[in-house]
Amino acid sequence: MRQFRGRESIYKRQEANIKECVRAKTIPDFIKNPKKWVYYSLSDVTPDQMSDATNTATALAFIKEMENRESSMEMETEFDDTGVFKKPTFQASKTIKKIEPKPDEKAVFKGNKIIMPEYVVGMTKKKERKTRTTKKETEGSSDETKKVSLKLNHLFDEDEEE
């Protein structure tokens, strides 16, 4: 590589003109097709109308108008007595509390140490059993025969029943 230092390469390209590099290569559509575009002039608008305060006031008025329209449309649909059914919407109750995971079950990172949960060798975890609510049997034996017949239905053949 030392032998080529300071020498011109036969593969060297001419430097590009800066105007050709910076200039946009495509012509904008509003210059190509001026008939498709409309020129709007703001000469009749005063500086007071273009201030930030008037802009925010106009935006807030527009938002309030949209909310009023929405609420009036909801009121109209509520009083409609036709047989139209709406899809039910469910909202989570505020009284339901989220179950927080126990902090000792996961590893905790404190400082530059990872503190693992305590583990006792030979101990098994207690399994939580789900409690099922059962209906009290009022009729007694008739319910038991129904349950048995339902449980044993797969043992009977169709030929024997006929």
**pLDDT of res. 76:** 67
Task: Please name the residue that has the structure tokens 């919407």.
Answer: 89
pLDDT one digit per residue (tens) for the chain, 162 residues? 778 777 777 777 777 777 777 766 788 889 999 999 999 888 888 888 888 999 999 999 999 999 999 888 877 665 556 667 778 877 766 666 666 655 557 788 888 898 888 877 887 777 877 776 655 544 455 555 555 555 666 676 666 554
User: End-to-end alpha-carbon separation of the chain, Å?
Assistant: 102
**pLDDT of res. 127:** 80
**pLDDT of res. 36:** 95
Structure tokens at 52: 């930030």
Question: What is the secondary structure of 62-83 as a DSSP string?
Answer: HHHHHHHHHHHHHHHHHT--SS
**pLDDT of res. 140:** 52
**Is the whole-model pTM more than 0.75?**
no
**pLDDT of res. 137:** 47
